[in-house]
Amino acid sequence: MHPFVRLLASVLMGLIVAFAISFGIEYLNSQMYPLPPGTDYRDAASMRAAMATLPGAALIGVLVGWFLAAVAGAWVAVRIARGARWTAWLLGLLLLVAAVANMTLFPHPIWFWVIGIALYPVAIMLGIRGARS
């Protein structure tokens, strides 16, 4: 396999793993903390109102999912890329962009923004460390 293709595949596989973990944990979280009946997922105002009713534990569950997803995705990217750490950092940047888009679409408290942005560098460093050991 051409080295560039391997590097590209490493980021893509890291994203697939990260999204699968994130979606899985968010699904479990939504089962524990369902949105109120009648919430229209296609209506921004309805989603804003529903998000405002969620307890802090539901938001922490989302952050835990994002963190675990980023660690696992970084680990996969570095392992496939045979130690190329920049693949994990690129993956982390892409995940951060997705997280900011999510936080922009749905209202989140300031503390969620701060932790949500800060968790990515830590998670990526942990994923790299685990993959290189």
Tens of pLDDT along 6-65?
A: 999 999 999 999 999 999 999 999 999 999 999 988 888 888 888 889 999 999 999 999
**Distant-in-sequence, close-in-space partners of 25: CB < 8 Å, separation ≥ 6:** 61, 62, 64, 65, 68, 69
Q: Which of 51, 50, 61 is nearest to 109 (CA)?
A: 51
In the chain, the number of structural domains is 1
Tens of pLDDT along 43-54?
A: 888 888 888 899
The amino acid that residue 60 corresponds to is I
Verdict on whether the full-model pTM lies above 0.85? yes
Tens of pLDDT along 67-87?
A: 999 999 999 999 999 999 999
Confidence check: pLDDT of 4 > 90: no
Q: CA-to-CA distance for 29 and 22, rounded, in angstroms?
A: 10
Among the ranges given (49-53, 85-89, 91-95, 126-130), the one the predictor scored with the smallest mean pLDDT = 49-53
Residue range of the domain that includes 120: 3-132
Is the CB of residue 34 less than 8 Å from the CB of residue 90?
A: no
